[in-house]
Amino acid sequence: MKTKKLKNLVKKAKGELAWTVHEVATQDCVQLRIFSDPMDKTHTIYLPLTPPEENSAYELLFLHELGHALMCERVHPFFASGFPIVGLEKEQIAAAAPVLSAASDWFIGHWLMKFCPELALSELQDEYEATAEMMANGETPSLDKFFVAVLITAQSIKYLKAEVECSGFLDSAVQAFLGVPPDKPSVGKLVELINRLLSLGAPYCCRQVNSKGQEVMEFFRSADGSIASP
């Protein structure tokens, strides 16, 4: 899709935000990101100090981040790009982050399918082909790339009706996504999906708790061991 059309989609999604929006250009920002504050009901869009050249990748990232912001407003703050976590050490948060990101993106992907189906299906087809090639080459992905690959595989089965043969750990992870329908998103569904994925190799579960008037995701130990890679 041409960059101009993508810009129009970004403008449309941004226009649907109900909370106050601030834009901040900073040299500390390598790529665009959006911080949503449910307490103040604001979104802060952090932009690179030097505007990037016009390209579809930047606009796609912008649209994706706006999806998180909209879901934060409409469903729950846990759908924002970042939210409070308790119960994990710093290195454990880094290990759990790919699971949290992929689980949230399962629902953001569905929002994109409804918001701009032509674009979403086209992008998913490209991502699926790249993922299939990586898996066919027998590459050993990092934990982050693994969960992205699992997410894309599950999305391809659901939206592209792709016939994908999975087995073992990969199949269990794909089925974890497919077992939680992304339509009618809720914080309960998000927590359920995260726990399904954590159960594949992590000794933790998570739950929604209220701390000092703020919604927090609390992790607690479910068994001995450590967060494992596939």
In this prediction, residue 153 carries a pLDDT of: 96
> Does the residue 60 lie in any domain?
no
Q: Output the pLDDT for position 160.
A: 96
For residues 86 and 27, the model is more confident at: 86
Question: Is the pTM of the predicted complex or chain greater than 0.85?
Answer: yes
pLDDT band at 152 (very low <50, low <70, confident <90, very high): very high
Examine residue 59 and state whether it is found in any structural domain, yes or no: no
Q: Is 24 a domain residue?
A: no
pLDDT at residue 102 in the model: 97
3-state per-residue secondary structure call for the chain:
CCHHHHHHHHHHHHHCCCCEEEEEEECCCCCCEEEEECCCCEEEEEEECCCCCCCHHHHHHHHHHHHHHHHHHHCCHHHCCCCCEECCCHHHHHHHHHHHHHHHHHHHHHHHHHHCHHHHHHHHHHHHHHHHHHHHCCCCCCHHHHHHHHHHHHHHHHHCCCCCCCCHHHHHHHHHHHCCCCCCCCHHHHHHHHHHHHCCCCCEEEEEEEECCEEEEEEEECCCCCCCCC
Looking at per-residue pLDDT, the higher value among 138 and 158 belongs to 158
pLDDT band (50, 70, 90) for residue 113: very high
Residue 50 resides in a domain = no
Domain holding 180, by residue range, is: 84-221
> Does the residue 99 lie in any domain?
yes
In a domain, 195, yes or no: yes
In a domain? residue 3? no
* Residue 4 within any structural domain of the chain: no
- Could you give the number of structural domains in the chain? 1
Q: What value does the mean pLDDT of the chain take?
A: 90
